[in-house]
Amino acid sequence: MELRGSHKGAQNAGHSPRHKTHQVFVGDVPVGGGAPIPVQSMTCTKTDDADATLSQIKALADAGAAIVRVAVLDKGCLDSFESICEASPVPLVADIHFDYRLAIEAAKRGASALRINPGNIGEMQKVDAVIEAAKNASLPIRIGVNEGSLAKEIEEDTSLDADEKLVGSAVAFVEHFRTRDFFDIVVSAKTHDVMRTISVNRALSEVLPNIPLHLGVTEAGSAFSGTIKNVSALSALLAEGIGDTIRVSLTADPVEEVRVGKELLKVLGLGESGPEIVSCPTCGRTKINLEKYVAQIEEALKDCKKNITVAVMGCVVNGPGEARHADIGIAGGDGSAILFERGEIVKKIPEDQIVPELLAAIERDF
């Protein structure tokens, strides 16, 4: 276990210090100020179907989501949204576009935060009415900026490139909120492009150093391509100390967003502890169904909080030798495997006992 601790220390030592931003609370969840980075997701059910929406929220919470966003599309959603807020196991962010009155009502109906894009709310007096509602309910507001709804004066400025427009729009909105004595702000500026996501958020962290940043790649794509894009962008930013909360947007079951987000934070040393599974890519030497066993072990350990490295290797070449820093693992043979702990062989086990023997040893010895 000593090796494991030193490995973790080396991993964390590669991070830049977290940017110290102003802390806001979404319900009882702190965002910014050096707090643990909460993973968010968003429901994709119809909000006026309270049972379906609440069921999805509970699934997201079980997967590790600390905050969930819910779309409030029209006034017909408000009664359902209120009942969902009352029963939700995690704080909810009301996602509002176009109609400022929905934000005002959502603040009264139990939202823990509001997400608006001031660029599509309309004239600033409507935005100001939302700010007053958030003040009265003691709620933070996420200012969400994207290229489809920039601040009008920024959008029309031909001297600015696309990134400068996103950053400038976010800054303009923050400055306006400050003139209204409203400071519990989170900012997001999203694009579908990985490199632009990185450059825009780097710029925001410089010009708005005390504002918590919500990170994510919007319209990222499927579970496969979207995961790659999100992880590429978010890893770069988080490793630089940028970012206070994340959403991994995917065209997939939103539970998958949470799983990816939690795993990303864990491997960066920024999330909750839990098993790290190390497995080889397989080759012609592999004589066991490694893919099947990795999937079974990963599923069995998904709720485990033990801070251990578990190696699942396809052959003796990639066993205790290459996985010597693992706390425990197996290395496949011909219809069998060896079980090893801390680089030392414990025993040989038949293939059909790989998963139960490994799990029993984890439970017993760690």
pLDDT digits (tens, 9 = 90+) for 198-217: 999 999 999 999 999 999 99
Confidence category of residue 15, pLDDT binned at 50, 70, 90: low
Q: How far apart are CA 101 and CA 122, in angstroms?
A: 11
Assess whether pLDDT exceeds 60 at residue 251. Answer: yes
Edge-to-edge strands, sheet with 336-341: 276-279, 309-313, 328-332, 336-341, 344-350
Structure tokens at 251: 């065209």
Q: Which residues of 9-25 are buried (b: 16+ CB within 10 A; e: fewer)?
A: eeeeeeeeebbebbbbb
> Do residue 140 and residue 229 come from a single domain?
yes
Q: Is residue 64 part of a domain?
A: yes
Tens digit of each residue's pLDDT (9 = 90 or more) over 121-157: 989 999 999 999 999 999 999 999 988 778 888 888 9
Assess whether pLDDT exceeds 70 at residue 14. Answer: no
In sequence order, the 6+-apart residues with CB closer than 8 A to the CB of 128 are 180
Average pLDDT, the chain: 91
Q: How far apart are CA 172 and CA 133, in angstroms?
A: 20
- Count of structural domains, the chain: 2
Assess whether pLDDT exceeds 60 at residue 12. Answer: no
Domain boundary among 267, 289, 322: 267
Single pTM value for the model? 0.88
- The CATH code of the domain that includes 207 is 3.20.20.20
> Do residue 214 and residue 357 come from a single domain?
no
pLDDT of 26 reads 98
- The CATH code of the domain that includes 346 is 3.30.413.10
Q: Is residue 2 part of a domain?
A: no
Assess whether pLDDT exceeds 50 at residue 218. Answer: yes
Residue 6 near residue 12, CB atoms below 8 Å = no
Residue 176 near residue 130, CB atoms below 8 Å = no
Domain that holds residue 290: 276-365
pLDDT of 151 reads 80
Q: Is residue 174 part of a domain?
A: yes
Domain boundary among 222, 247, 267: 267
Domain boundary among 244, 267, 290: 267
Q: Which residue has better confidence, 359 or 219?
A: 359
Residue 166 backbone dihedrals phi, psi, to 5 degrees = -65, -50
Neighbours of 289 (CB within 10 A): 15
Q: Is residue 4 part of a domain?
A: no
> Do residue 120 and residue 165 come from a single domain?
yes
